Chain A
Amino acid sequence: MRDVLRHHLFWPVAALVVLLVANTIARPGFLAVTVRDGHLFGAPVDILRTTAPLLLVALGMTLVIATRGIDLSVGAVVAVSGAVALSHIASSPNPDSPVTVLTAIALALVLCLLLGVWNGFLVSVLGIQPIIATLILMTAGRGVAMLITNGMITTVNSTPFKVLGSGFWLGLPAAAVLAFGVFAVVAFVVRRTALGMLLEATGINPAASRLSGVRSRTLTWTVYTASGLFAGLAGLLISADTMAADANNAGLFIELDAILAVVIGGTALSGGKFSLSGTLVGALVIATLERTVTVLGISPLVTPLFMALVVIAVTLLQSPRMRERLTARRRQVATPPGSRPAAGPGPTPGSTTDPTTDPTEVKA
């Protein structure tokens, strides 16, 4: 029981469960999923679909935060991606042809990749603080997106492109399949290879990891590039959902939602240890919270208030001071029988455990 309580996913999952229970009480059929026309329907499926863009952005954000960085530009990249893709489709003579759609997707993704490369260059090569380096693109990016769409909201009709936003693959929303697929691949690569450990090493101490042979600069550059690419993909999902490129409002505040998802998931903004499974739960909490507010009949405009309360509760519960207090109480209880102090598993002499196999860390 104590292990469950101490698990880093305990509070985020508890928040998710509370939200789901509240929804089920307000609307008893909330968790029901039915099959209609060969597709799954129901609120949970809908939550999965609305989580998809946020999950992609938060995935990139987690990797960036693991290296002690932050990427504020993702919202602007989302806007640029949608603007490029939809402008290309709108300007082509045949918006329904798969070639047009694939070219549009490729154009958008390549441009977003380059924007990520630019952020990575500023941070890893020029050594500019991540928050400022990405603030530049955050400010300028929306201007660029408006430049692409000429300041108008570009709307198009393209059946193949629309599938990304509201279509179904294998009975599941295409957006969710795509986002969860990318998530699974990244989680696999990061956790089944040494990459995750190297990222954490870079985040904990860039200088020390460089001296011990980790290519911190390349890694940092890579995570910003990945973040740009994932944000671009999220931008495609968002623009395909609305079929409109709105340079002002597409992906507005998604960077903050993504940071919240990462923080709710238990990854500290100070870099180092990160939890992809935590980010997944965090993104689900945010999407479910948004849904809950509507189900409970509260104006969706008040959503930020509830988000703030969840974040304050989760961060306070995870704060070092609170942990100290909890462990101190536990130590008082635990030490009298003469057992070893509950200071956590120290490195035993001669052990070859690598730093990522911390018992509190769960493989995503």
Chain B
Amino acid sequence: MYRYTDFDTAFVAERNRQFRQQVERRIAGHLTEDEFKPLRLMNGLYLQLHAYMLRVAIPYGTLNSAQMDQLALLAEKWDKGYGHFTTRQNIQYNWPKLRDVPDMLDALAEVGMHAIQTSGNTIRNVTADHFAGAAADEIADPRPVAELLRQWSTDHPEFQFLPRKFKIAVTGSPNDRAVIKAHDIGIQVVEREGRIGYRVLVGGGLGRTPMIGKELTEFVPLAELLPFVEATVSVWNLLGRRDNKYKARIKITVHEHGIDEIRRLVEDRFAETRQAFNGADLELFDEIAAQFQPPAFRNVPTDAYDSAYEADPVFRAWADTNLWDHKAPGYAIAQISLKPHGQTPGDATADQMRVMADLARRFGHDELRISHEQNVVLPHVHKSDLPEVHKILKAHGLATANIGLISDIIACPGMDYCALATARSIPIAQEIATRFDELKIEHEIGDLKIKISGCINACGHHHVGHIGILGLDRAGVENYQITLGGDATETASLGTRTGPGFSAEEIVPAVERVVQAYLEHRESPEEPFLAAYRRLGMAPFKTALYGEETGKKARAA
């Protein structure tokens, strides 16, 4: 994996030195909050409901064990012993003190990490498929491109004051695990006639105006990718609606001007940007790609795995649910659920972080990934090691066998932590997970993704949840709207609102009625929820939620 160069290290050290001075000047009263706020946001420091929040970048979700150990240290030394992994593959600390933040940033820099551009109207942390470099279906590892984009975008002088934040995701597989269609720019590695190139989507995003990204180009070669992306951001930087923050995202620009006009403008601009790139980006790409070589995989028998799979039903359930196909024979991708039933989705304690780091060191070629679904991945584990890995995970509350199931819920921090939220997300996720664990039907239900946001900004991706839940404030009371039929993959779609929302007390029974309707109406256990919804439409679910009369109206519509 990529290791910082001397230039990177010096750059981060200088930023940290500057920020330390800025914090000191704020505390001494030489900077007002209005002056200080943009400076702290440039370094990932927010002020939330109960405390400051530091958002740390985990570029394309890739970590090594030393970095994970350091995240644990930060959690223990400057927070309350845990961290929260987010849908943008970042980690957030919810309780830092202002005076401690420069020390936290210095500690991160020791392991090549930082919080630069995790906030502000700039190009944010570049995300990627969490199975990058490991997935059996991968055309090429998306991380060299993601790292190239990270270096290009960091402190890019043209893009430090964009109309709004800008999010880029990259996938190297046709199966989209990076939600590229809900990003400002989504990049997909494609292969044509033996040539690797990139399909570029633009204008996707969730929030108050959710949109699925549109294809800007079906293929650009590597030599043209960076100037093409620069041209795209540059066009939006000029056209973007700075008059209204709610209309400032590129999805609105694409919608208002049309994809054909945007494509024309990007191509015009590309003719200029292409001239400015002299090939240094390609040399850099080669240097980066050389650091993402696959580890030396072992060629040993999988007997230990086979016998444990036969003998131990708990291990078998975990293996069936949490493992994914690896490109190397005898290997698996092991997903560690941060969704134990009834706990806060995405949280890991310092001890758990150290356990995961240790597993990566001992059994995982020193690699970890953070998924946008708020779980952790050991991307390269030989199957013969999996019984031992599972045993250790189990001993530390990390072996919940629920990846992709109803309790593997994405939930934003909601009003428990976030200053923007209008309702809570976490307790709803906790209650749903607990309820379906009690019912013992989670595995029977199968693939079902619930995503919960505590406000219209949709950090919990509710629009693309098979069942989406949006928490709102209705006259001083938490109220939860349900959407159905959302999809975050290559067949992306936005969910449709079912009707009036539900109170906090009513929402879990409402979700249960939706699931019961699915179980009653599915063609077979092989038909997943999303497929059943697409076949059946909204009517049976409306009936389940609101009664027969409403269901009849939905059928007639």
Is A bound to B?
Answer: no
Chain B residues in contact with chain A, CB under 8 A? none
Chain A residues in contact with chain B, CB under 8 A? none
